[in-house]
Amino acid sequence: MVKNFGALKALDRVNMEIPRGKITLLIGPNGSGKTTLMNIISGVYKPDAGKIILDGEDVTNLDTHERFRKGLVRNFQIPRLFQGLITLENVAFARYGNPGEGVISGTMKRRWFKFEYETLKRAAETITFTKIRHLWDKKPSELSGGQMKLLEVARSLMPDEPKIVLMDEPTSGVNPVLAHEIFQRIRDVNRKRRVTFLVVEHRLDIAVGYVDYAYAMAFGKVIAHGEPEAVLNDPRVIESYLGG
Amino acid sequence: MNIEFWIFSDTWLILVLSYFIVTLSLNLEAGYTGIPNFGKALFVFMGAWAAQGIGIRLAALFMQHYDPKDSSLLVERLNSMLGQNYHSLVEAAGSTEANRIVAPHIYDFLFAHPALDITLFIVILLVTLGLAAAMGLIASYAALRLREEYLAILLLSFSELVVMVIFNQTDSLNGGPKGLWAVEFYPDNRLFALILGAVISLLVFIYAERLGNSPMGRTMRAVRDDEVAAGVFGRDVAMTRLKVIMISSMIAALAGLVYIEAKPSAQTLTFNRVIWTFFPWAFLILGGMANNKGAIVGVLVFMVLKRFVEFYVPQMAAGHSAAIQMLAAYLSNIIVGLLILLVLYFRPQGVLPEKPSKTMDLDVVLEETK
């Protein structure tokens, strides 16, 4: 995978294989290309060279919405919430396939009532889990930074049957107790529904207990990968964080 | 028919109804989906054209077919009267010179043949929707590729180009600047327009409310708020915009049809940007974006206020200097502008702000998951 922004090599021949059914941690100092990689995998950016293979299928030329429909879900490091929608709607929107999403079918309530009811119920359960249930009728502008983050996490746990979920710093700005619970939940979803996760996280102390595999990046390159403990203790990784 | 109550008349009422329709359709685009359609005048005009340039010719064709004797007699008389050489009634009905003479005869023919009259009305309704949908498709080609500001400018100039240049300068399309007389469907055309306007407004309002409070309403607002995130969650943003533009264009054109039925002799430039694009935007900003009741309130507040100003201020200015009379004539526009500024400053969300899409009773659903 190659991506340049002008003269900056954001991603310099990155090759990564994310093990199916596992939780993979992606670490690296600021500016090492983690978020760029997330944006390329999800289709927000197009790579300059390289391919993205999802479950054996080349999805490099698909739009973001087509990748989502193939089972690729992501969240955003800086929450991109829908400002006009309340918390419950923001989460409910993340479930795709509502038969009422047409300019004609939308007016026929009988066609979408059941799906909508299930969606709202699940959205309510999801925000209960992320502890923002009491904020269900608030718009994003009324939430604190941490609450927005929880809403963003709730959204990425909402879709039906994802194959892989990309989480970009799900616990930044969240208190440690809740951060553990979020990782616990990620692991629950992973174990019960066999969903693959790729998690970018700076809070290594919290994350390391929940992940199965790890990649480390620096200056747009993968510098180490393997067992989480081994990657964290790799001298190159330590140097990249400390030496900068 | 002649309704007068205080300073309000039936033509005022029909204009208000037309504005309900346009503003509700603009609300679907701009309020819900964030599509800055500054070309509304064009789509409204499609409804007028369907009844004018196209409608009167179709009506002439009907008459020619079902009453060939009277038709050829009429053409002969026209030819000797105007020194022209029309070959058919259709040609005469579509010409700027003969249109005004032929139109009343065509009306009489239609009124005497109710079945044909109704058929023609349905055909013109379909033509209106078809033309608007086609124009919507052209507009959405741009809408899918341009950023907001560029799209607004492009749609504005597209509308200006088509209405002010192409239609206003080409006699064969809609009779040039004067406009062809539109086909009438009922002897009391204003009563007809009033009923048509009321029925369509009501249906459009119900439609817009249902759509706004459906999963589609939520998707439209998500696309408006963050198209990248909407795409990441599986929504085809381009397709959503396309659908909304198509349906809104069709609705806007119905407003043109209602208005032209009340004023069949309206000139082409009646369908200009100030009256059919900027005013609906003003109504929407005042009433509240993404709120259908807000759109209605916006139209009513503005139009009542405007009527007061237009009625009383010139009376007060009478006898004063030319400058003051000039100011009085433009006062309603000045007030409209001022009101927009005040609303944007003190209440940017409008009189009635946006509400969540009430697909069902959200409190109840929440209660059930406790």
B77-92 pLDDT, tens digit each: 999 999 989 999 999 9
HSE-up (13 A, CA, CB side) for residue A28: 26
In this predicted structure, what is the pLDDT of residue B178?
92
Scanning the structure block, which residue is given the tokens 């994802």?
A162
Gap between the Cα atoms of A11 and A34, Å rounded? 9
In this predicted structure, what is the pLDDT of residue B241?
94
Output the average pLDDT for chain B.
93
- Residues from chain A that touch B369, judged by Cβ atoms under 8 A, are 121, 124-125, 128
pTM over 0.90: yes
In this predicted structure, what is the pLDDT of residue B6?
84
Rounded mean pLDDT, B247-261: 97
* DSSP of B193-257: HHHHHHHHHHHHHHHHHHHHTSHHHHHHHHHHH-HHHHHHTT--HHHHHHHHHHHHHHHHHHHHH
- HEC assignment per residue over B252-309: HHHHHHHHHHHCCCCCHHHCCHHHHHHHHHHHHHHHCCCCHHHHHHHHHHHHHHHHHH
DSSP alpha helix (H) spans, B85-146: 89-93, 99-112, 114-143
Domain ranges of chain A: 3-81+143-242
In this predicted structure, what is the pLDDT of residue A243?
66
Residue A180 has pLDDT above 70, yes or no: yes
Residue A230 has pLDDT above 80, yes or no: yes
Residue A244 has pLDDT above 60, yes or no: no
Number of helices (H), then strands (E), belonging to chain A: the values are 9, 10
Confidence bin at A86 (pLDDT 50/70/90): very high
- The Cα of A58 is separated from the nearest Cα of chain B by a number of Å equal to 18
- Residues from chain A that touch B229, judged by Cβ atoms under 8 A, are 76, 80-82
Residue A106 has pLDDT above 70, yes or no: yes
Residue B327 has pLDDT above 90, yes or no: no
What's the pLDDT tens digit per position in A25-39? 999 998 889 999 999
Gap between the Cα atoms of A115 and A109, Å rounded? 10
Confidence bin at B15 (pLDDT 50/70/90): very high
Residue A208, burial from CB neighbour count under 10 angstroms (0-12, 13-18, 19+):
middle
Output the average pLDDT for chain A.
91
Gap between the Cα atoms of A132 and A42, Å rounded? 27
- Residues from chain B that touch A73, judged by Cβ atoms under 8 A, are 233
Rounded mean pLDDT, B40-54: 96
* ipTM value: 0.92
Gap between the Cα atoms of B4 and B104, Å rounded? 26
- Residues from chain A that touch B362, judged by Cβ atoms under 8 A, are 88, 120, 136-137
Gap between the Cα atoms of A37 and A33, Å rounded? 6
Do B290 and B209 touch, CB atoms closer than 8 A? no
- Residues from chain A that touch B233, judged by Cβ atoms under 8 A, are 65, 68, 73, 93-94, 96, 155, 159
Confidence bin at A81 (pLDDT 50/70/90): very high
Gap between the Cα atoms of A216 and A231, Å rounded? 7
Q: What percent of chain B is modeled with pLDDT above 90? A: 75
* Distant-in-sequence, close-in-space partners of A235: CB < 8 Å, separation ≥ 6: none
The verdict on A114 touching B (C-beta cutoff 8 Å) is no
In this predicted structure, what is the pLDDT of residue B325?
84
In this predicted structure, what is the pLDDT of residue B32?
97
Rounded mean pLDDT, B36-63: 96
Gap between the Cα atoms of B56 and B253, Å rounded? 17
Rounded mean pLDDT, A14-19: 92
Gap between the Cα atoms of B254 and B248, Å rounded? 10
- The Cα of B138 is separated from the nearest Cα of chain A by a number of Å equal to 19
Gap between the Cα atoms of B78 and B85, Å rounded? 9
Do A240 and A216 touch, CB atoms closer than 8 A? yes
> For residue B223, what are the CA distances in angstroms to A67, A225, B230?
17, 38, 6
By C-alpha distance, which of A209, A194, A199, A210 is closest to A172?
A199
Gap between the Cα atoms of B181 and B265, Å rounded? 5
CA dihedral B280, B283, B285, B288 (to 10 degrees): -120
Number of Cβ within 10 Å of residue A215's Cβ equals 24
CATH class of the region A3-81+143-242:
alpha beta
Q: What percent of chain B is modeled with pLDDT above 70? A: 100
- The Cα of A179 is separated from the nearest Cα of chain B by a number of Å equal to 23
Q: What percent of chain A is modeled with pLDDT above 90? A: 69
In this predicted structure, what is the pLDDT of residue B203?
98
Gap between the Cα atoms of B3 and B6, Å rounded? 10
CB contact under 8 A, A81 and B359: no
Do A81 and A150 touch, CB atoms closer than 8 A? no
Do B71 and B329 touch, CB atoms closer than 8 A? no
Rounded mean pLDDT, B177-194: 95
In this predicted structure, what is the pLDDT of residue B162?
94
What's the pLDDT tens digit per position in B122-139? 999 999 999 999 999 998
The verdict on A62 touching B (C-beta cutoff 8 Å) is no
Residue B339 has pLDDT above 90, yes or no: no
What's the pLDDT tens digit per position in B99-125? 999 999 999 999 999 999 999 999 999
Establish, for the pair of chains A and B, how many residue pairs have beta carbons separated by less than 8 Å.
Answer: 129
Biggest CA–CA distance in chain B, Å, is: 86
Rounded mean pLDDT, A189-216: 92
In this predicted structure, what is the pLDDT of residue A178?
86
**Cα-only R_g, chain A:** 18
- Residues from chain A that touch B232, judged by Cβ atoms under 8 A, are 42-44, 64-65, 68, 74, 76
What's the pLDDT tens digit per position in B286-326? 999 999 999 999 999 999 988 888 888 888 888 888 888 88
Scanning the structure block, which residue is given the tokens 């080409």?
B170
CA dihedral B190, B194, B196, B202 (to 10 degrees): 170
Closest residue in chain B to residue A135, using alpha carbons only: B366
In this predicted structure, what is the pLDDT of residue A114?
95
Closest residue in chain B to residue A91, using alpha carbons only: B233
**Beta strand pairing status for A53-54 and A196-200?**
unpaired
